[in-house]
Amino acid sequence: MTAGLRRFAANRLAVAGAVVLGLLVLFAVLGPLAYPTDQVTTDLASANLPPGADGHLLGTDALGYDNLGRLMVAGRVSLLVGVLAGALATIVGTVWGAVAGYVGGVVDAVMMRVVDAGIAIPAIFLLLVLSTIVRPTVGMMIVVLGLVSWLVPARLIRAEALSVRTRDYVVAARAMGATHRRTVFAHVIPNTVGTVVVNATFQVADAILLVAYISFLGMGVQPPTTDWGAMLNDGISFIYQGAWWLILPPGLAIVLVVCALNFVGDGLRDVVDVRGRAA
Amino acid sequence: MTTALPAAGGAADAAASPSARTARGGFGRYLLRRVLQSLVVILVVSVIVFALLHALPGGPARGVLGQQASPEQIAAFEAANGLDQPVVLQYLSFLGRTVTGDLGESYLLNQSVADAIGLRLPKTLLLTGLSLVVAVLLAVPIGVYQAVRRNRAVDYWLSALAIVAYSTPTFFLGMLLVLLLSQTAGLLPAAAPQGSGVAEVLAQPAGLVLPVLTGAVPIVATFSRYTRSATLDNLAEDYVRTARAKGTVYRRVVLRHVLRNSLTPVVAMLGYHLPVMFGGALVVEQLFNYPGMGLLFWSAAQSSDFPVLLGCVLVISVATVVGSLLADLVQALLDPRTRGGLR
């Protein structure tokens, strides 16, 4: 494990990514405690203020919300939806892929055609259709995003499970009378954990991007709740007045967090590869 | 965008690996199997779309008649449109209509869905095609250069830059370009060309620059990475050493031998990349108000125009399935290592 940590620490971009990620989480979660602002009632008297005016460090938006404070509460939604949707997608995909790969045969073929069909429908189109059917609350976004993005992990884990199922310890477990369910959950899935963890990182990054896309297209969480994508959607009408403070902060926040997750994922992959080589 | 950048190659490898295995058993058999597989996938897609249509609150009748419809009106509509029949029969008739190109009528456009899509699809293909050409012209040289300079500082920085570009939402990139090139510098118009035909759009080339550029950057980020790794694989091949041993200049080996061999997997990746490109088109068209299929889909989502939404999903999904089928076939045909059973 310490060897893994050392390997991770050797990847400077991964370490930087982890630090940035930590800071952004702190900013979103604890920021509002240090910099309390009203993000529910509008204040039209102080709308569209530039940065610095009247104690608003990053100015205000068209409804008079303090922009820095809004960046924090929006970050909570973006990060929460991203992490939980990524986790949900990882869990569903892992179980689906492990079962398909372990059972094989017709079951595998049917399960993987379902995955193929799901991958054939681009997630963003499916999400827009679904958001016209269900009300896009935070909880609903997590479920819907999770349910459209489990397909890639399912493919990856199936490929792993296909090789794991022929290993001696799986054969031995079966010979000793372990049920199929036990074999899958106690032997197949734990032995794909490296792939699962690395993919989960990318899954969260993609979920954060997707939720930003949905909100930017105006089909995400509804006001007064907001996220970074929705802030950009609100800010776009002011781009022609040069109101950069409504555009750059939420946009850069998305880029930073997605980059950080990708770098961390790369670092984790180095760690997992090392373990694979040692085994 | 549904696939993490590093995982994208993995998904394609998984899709391509059966080709390597089965090609030895005869390309004809492999072709047949992949085509049948794709048909099954398209069938499953049609089931999903059909299910979505019926997942509407109140079903399709409520969708067409609106929230105010009385139970009698709904019953009459359902009887008139066969919605009171068993679900399986309804699905079969839906399938029959779809196969004959009847995707239903738009609620709002006073146009059949097939016409609405047919009018806008060429413009989306134009925009996406231009982005693709620009992107490949940039990505291939960058990827080859990175492979030749592998693990040097310049390779490291270009890779990091690709991740940054990949992590930037397309709409944010587009907004930045508008802010810089249109608002501040005043070089280019921020609005996309308008018009109903491809010719009218092409008559306004200045307006195309920002949308094409915005669509191209994410593709460059992904494909420079593919090119880099494909080139690295080929640089390690024996024929490179042979050519060098014969005294061929390194630059010539890279440009004449390695490049040609690395382009095959990269071109095949384009086939797997279709869903991402359609997703990109959706955002770019909405951002720049470009009258293509993406904008059609977006406006349909705003107004809950379900026949248009589901028609678009169906068209895009079929295109995606055909795209990855073609990519698999191209790889099986062109890659000498999977060509075994061909002769």
The DSSP-derived string for B224-272 is HHHHHHHHHHHHTSHHHHHHHHTT--HHHIIIIIIHHHHHHHHHHHHHH
Chain B residues within 8 A of A219 when measuring between CB atoms: 301
pLDDT in tens, B232-251: 888 888 888 888 888 888 88
Report residue A260's pLDDT band, with 50, 70 and 90 as the boundaries: very high
How far B63 CA lies from chain A's nearest CA (Å)? Answer: 10
In chain A, residues with a C-beta closer than 8 Å to the C-beta of B2 are 119, 122-124, 148-149, 151-152, 206, 210
pLDDT confidence of residue A256: 92
Q: What is the mean pLDDT of chain B?
A: 79
Which chain B residue is nearest to residue A199, measuring alpha carbons?
A: B7
> What pLDDT score was predicted for residue A277?
40
| Residue B63: φ, ψ to 5° | -60, -40
How many CB contacts within 8 angstroms connect chain A with chain B?
179
Higher pLDDT, A87 or A59: A87
Cβ pair B43, B36 in contact under 8 A: no
A19 has a pLDDT exceeding 90: yes
pLDDT of residue B100: 82
Q: Which residues of A110-130 are buried (b: 16+ CB within 10 A; e: fewer)?
A: ebbbbbbbbbbbbbbbbbbbb
| Residues 149-188 in A contacting B (C-alpha not used; CB under 8 Å) | 149, 151-152, 155-156, 159
The pLDDT tens digits of the residues spanning A91-123 come to 999 999 999 988 888 899 889 888 888 888 888
More confident residue, B334 or A66: A66
Mean pLDDT of A205-223: 86
Which pLDDT band, with edges at 50, 70 and 90, does A261 fall under? Answer: very high
Out of A92-106, A164-178, B85-99, B123-137, least confident range: B85-99
- Nearest by CB to B7, from A126, A130, A202: name it: A202
Taking an 8 Å cut-off on Cβ atoms, the answer to whether B163 and A262 are in contact is: yes
- pLDDT mean over B120-146: 90
Q: Is B56 on the interface with A (CB under 8 A)?
A: yes
pLDDT digits (tens, 9 = 90+) for A129-171: 888 877 778 888 898 888 888 998 898 889 888 888 888 888 8
Give the domains, in start order, of chain A with CATH numbers: 2-276 (1.10.3720.10)
Lowest mean pLDDT among A77-91, B51-65, B252-266: B51-65
Q: Please state, in angstroms and rounded to a whole number, the distance separating the CA atoms of residues A7 and A5.
A: 5
Q: Is B255 on the interface with A (CB under 8 A)?
A: no
Q: CB–CB of B60/B97 below 8 Å?
A: no
| pLDDT given at position B336 | 52
B60 pLDDT higher than 70: no
pLDDT at B10: 36
Write down the pLDDT at residue B21. Answer: 46
Rounded Cα–Cα distance for residues B66 and B71 (Å) = 12
Give Dmax (Cα) for chain A. Answer: 75
pLDDT at residue B59 is higher than 70: no
> Inter-axis angle of helices B274-288 and B306-334, to 10 degrees?
140
The answer to whether A129 and B54 are in contact (CB under 8 A) is no
CB contact under 8 Å between A156 and B7, yes or no, is: yes
pLDDT of residue B194 exceeding 50, the answer is yes
A219 touches chain B (CB under 8 A): yes
pLDDT at B217: 92
Task: Indicate the residue type of A237.
Answer: S
Higher pLDDT, A14 or B12: A14
CA distance A257 to A18: 10
Q: Residue B11: which pLDDT band, with cuts at 50, 70 and 90?
A: very low
- If you average pLDDT over residues B261-268, what whole number do you get? 78
Partners of B163 on chain A (C-beta within 8 Å) are: 259, 262-263
User: Given this model, what pLDDT does residue A188 score?
Assistant: 86
Give the 3-state secondary structure of residue B105.
Answer: strand
Minimal C-alpha gap between A176 and chain B (Å)? 32
Q: pLDDT value at position A99?
A: 92
Q: Is the pLDDT of residue B134 over 90?
A: yes
* Of A155-169, A206-220, B98-112, B192-206, the least confident: B192-206
- Establish if B289 touches chain A: CB-CB under 8 angstroms: no
Q: Is B321 on the interface with A (CB under 8 A)?
A: yes
What's the pLDDT score for residue B20?
45
Higher pLDDT, A240 or A137: A137
- ipTM score over 0.90, yes or no: no
B154-164 pLDDT, tens digit each: 888 898 899 89
Q: Angle at CA A158, nearest 5°, toward A153 and A164? A: 125
Question: By CA distance, what is A145's nearest residue in B?
Answer: B2
Residue A206 CA neighbour count, 13 Å, CB half: 31
